[in-house]
């Protein structure tokens, strides 16, 4: 029984990790290519979730909503890049932090303006409702498995895009030498907009997928954003491979920590106290993991060569 429970938690951890990867991939790509730290990435996640919930409520189809979330987040990303972000590439990180912090305020309040303060709800599509039996007798929701699968497909697609296509080649070239690919005649400004929109679309996709598990509300992107920061710091900023491993590590550590720490502590102290201490310790666990990794490798597990 406990083993089945542990398996269930492990899957939950994987699901969290996969979602974190979608966020972290965009962040790390944007940093790797443009050298920009984007706090407003969580807002794009929120835009994706709101677009999906609204369009799904309109049309009655989750799938159309999902496509709308990709389109809305990519469009929001492209607009933000053209109007604001473009002016920040040659500024220092402090200016980037502040400008994107200002964008968060505007996105959050703007969304509240349009949609009100009440959370929206997004139903799981009929195709993915229900549960499958896990070995050990427990059941696991199909939708969560679908998220893991979708995340894995997107991760593989991203790998193909970056390593096999012309756009990917330009992205990689942009990471290693910005001036040179500009000199070789690649329209670097368009490339930046495309990369930013791509990162935004990934965030929006993650937001829409998670939106069906939780409620869709203002501020939903912020906890995820900070976890995604932890992920890319652990993985090495600018490295997609690092983002993938970091995301899985953070997702599984966080979920298993919350599940196991109170149980382990219960062997030593009274159950009520074990729950309290274990819960508090588990909420800090990933940050402790991050601190340990950075104490050993200050540039993360897979430092990008030119970041």
Partner 1 sequence: MILTRENLINFILAAMLLAVPFAANALGQPFYSTLATRIAILALAATGLNLALGLGGLVSFGHAAFFGIGGYVAGILAAHAFSGDPLLFGLSGSKQMWVIWIVAVIVSGLVGLAIGAISLRTSGVYFIMITLAFAQMVYYFAISWPAYGGEDGLSILVRNQFPGVNTMRPLTFFLICYVVLLLALSLFALIRASRFGTALQAARQNEVRVATVGIQPYRIRLTGFAISAAVTGLAGALFADLNRFVSPSMLSWHMSGELIVLIILGGTGRLFGPLAGAALYVIFEFALGGLTERWQFFLGLILLVVVLFARGGLLGLLAGKAKHG
If one asks whether residue 294 binds partner 1 (CB under 8 A), the answer comes out as yes
Residue 139, C-beta contacts closer than 8 angstroms, at least 6 positions apart: 131, 132, 133
**Chain centre to alpha carbon of residue 184:** 33
List alpha helices for 60-124, DSSP H: 62-83, 93-115
Q: Is 233 in the site for partner 1 (CB under 8 A)?
A: yes
| Region label for 67, one of left (φ > 0), alpha (ψ between -120 and 50) or beta (otherwise) | alpha
Q: Which is nearer to partner 1, 105 or 149 (CB)?
A: 105
Query: Binding partner 1 by CB under 8 A: which of 58, 59, 93, 123?
Result: 93
C-alpha–C-alpha distance, residues 229 and 192, integer Å: 21
Per CB under 8 A, 139 contacts partner 1: no
Interior CA angle at 256 toward 148 and 138, to 5°? 65
Q: What is the CA radius of gyration of the chain?
A: 20
- Regarding 37 and contact with partner 1 (CB under 8 A), the answer is yes
Give the span between the Cα atoms of 243 and 28, in whole angstroms: 7
- Stretch touching partner 1 by CB under 8 A, among 6-14, 15-23, 82-90, 125-133: 82-90
Residues in the chain, overall count: 307
Does 298 bind partner 1 (CB under 8 A)? Our answer is yes
Identify residues 253-282 at the interface with partner 1 (CB under 8 A): 276, 279-280, 282
Give min distance, CB of 226 to partner 1, in A.
Answer: 5
Residue 222 binds partner 1, judged by CB under 8 A: yes
31 binds partner 1 (CB under 8 A): yes
Tokens at 200, concatenated: 């935004």
The b-or-e profile of 58-83 (16+ CB within 10 A means b, else e) is: eeeebeebbebbbebbbbbbbebbee
Considering the complex, state which of residue 184 and residue 226 has its C-beta at the smaller distance from partner 1.
226
Of residues 170 and 258, the one with the C-beta less far from partner 1 = 258
Q: Quick one: which of 52, 78, 75 has its CA closest to 65?
A: 52
Q: Determine, following the binding rule CB under 8 A, whether residue 306 of this chain makes contact with partner 1.
A: no
Please state the closest distance from residue 194 (CB atom) to partner 1, in A.
Answer: 22
Which of 7, 75, 106, 142 contacts partner 1 by CB under 8 A?
A: 106
CA 258, CA 279: separation in Å to the nearest integer? 6
User: Binding residue for partner 1 (CB under 8 A) from 44, 209, 290, 304?
Assistant: 290
> Binding residue for partner 1 (CB under 8 A) from 51, 78, 158, 237?
237
Identify which range of 149-157, 189-197, 208-216, 226-234 contacts partner 1 by CB under 8 A: 226-234
Determine phi and psi for 231, rounding to 5 degrees. -60, -50
**What is the binding site for partner 1 (CB under 8 A)?**
31, 37, 84, 87-88, 93-95, 97-99, 101-106, 108-110, 112-113, 222, 226, 229-230, 232-233, 237, 276, 279-280, 282-284, 287-288, 290-291, 294-295, 298-300
């Amino acid at each position: 029984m406990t083993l089945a429970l542990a398996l269930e938690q492990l899957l939950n951890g994987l699901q969290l990790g996969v979602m974190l990867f979608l966020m972290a991939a965009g962040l790390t790509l944007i940093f790797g290519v443009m050298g920009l730290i984007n706090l407003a990435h969580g807002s794009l996640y929120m835009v994706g979730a709101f677009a999906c919930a609204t369009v799904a409520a309109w049309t009655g189809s989750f799938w159309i909503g999902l496509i709308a979330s990709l389109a809305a987040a990519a469009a929001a990303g492209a607009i933000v890049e053209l109007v604001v972000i473009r002016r920040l590439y040659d500024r220092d990180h402090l200016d980037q932090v502040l400008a994107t912090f200002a964008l968060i305020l505007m996105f959050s309040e703007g969304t509240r303006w349009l949609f009100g303060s009440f959370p929206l709800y997004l139903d799981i599509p009929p195709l993915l409702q229900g549960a499958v039996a896990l070995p050990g007798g427990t059941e696991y929701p199909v939708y969560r498995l679908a998220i893991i699968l979708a995340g894995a497909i997107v991760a593989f697609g991203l790998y193909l895009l970056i390593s096999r296509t012309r756009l990917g080649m330009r992205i990689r070239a942009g990471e290693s030498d910005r001036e040179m690919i500009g000199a070789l005649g690649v329209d670097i400004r368009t490339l930046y907009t495309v990369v930013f929109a791509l990162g935004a679309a990934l965030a929006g996709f993650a937001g829409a997928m998670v939106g069906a598990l939780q409620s869709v509300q203002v501020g939903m992107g912020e906890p995820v954003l900070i976890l995604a920061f932890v992920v890319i710091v652990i993985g090495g900023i600018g490295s997609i491979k690092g983002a993938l491993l970091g995301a899985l590590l953070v997702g599984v550590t966080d979920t298993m920590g919350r599940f196991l720490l109170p149980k382990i502590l219960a062997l030593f102290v009274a159950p009520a106290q074990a729950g309290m201490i274990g819960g508090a310790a588990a909420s800090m666990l990933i940050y402790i993991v991050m601190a340990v990794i950075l104490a050993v490798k200050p540039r993360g597990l897979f430092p990008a060569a030119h970041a």
